[in-house]
Amino acid sequence: MMNLLSHIRRASPCSGLAPALFFLVLFILSPIVSAQTGKRPRVSNSILGVGIGASLEAVREKLEPLSIAIDDPTNKDEDKDEGGHKQVWKLKGTNYTYIALKTNDRGRVVWVTGFVRPSKELPFSALGDTSLALRATDSQAIWNVATPSGGYRLVAKGQNGRARVIYLLSLATPAR
């Protein structure tokens, strides 16, 4: 024990400074390093696995096993003015009562909306980091997320910071 105490007394006053300085520099540089490595804060990019750009066939494979047949004209209607197709699924056994979407003329999802079951509302923070949202209030949170294909907007609406309706909208400019 005496040997340890004499060693501590002989140690330089700066010997404890080097590790502290190292951790301080690491703490300051970590956001810069993570930005340079391309890591982004996570923002939801799908509703029940249905995201922007998904094919209608892939969406049907995911949602038909979860759906209840409904007689809804939007499931059969082609949108003549804009091309594409709108479809609605009534769901069972999920946190969503309905999923609605629209595809473009190539059969790719351009928007999707999820209607959350009462008492199953999702906290806005479960969808994305609200401090990084374009807008975050008690009733709405909006994120714009850049992607190589043009990006998407995620909108959550509800009360008390909990989403009752969730929208994903393509921000890509349509090809002409």
pLDDT score recorded for residue 71:
59
Mean pLDDT of 167-174: 88
Question: Domain residues of the chain, as ranges?
Answer: 2-36, 56-170
The shares of helix, strand and coil residues in the chain, as percent rounded to the nearest 5, are 30, 35, 40
Residue-wise pLDDT tens digits, 126-141: 999 999 899 999 999 9
Distances in Å between the Cα of 95 and the Cα atoms of 28, 54, 56, 91, 112 are 40, 21, 21, 9, 15
Quote the pTM value: 0.70
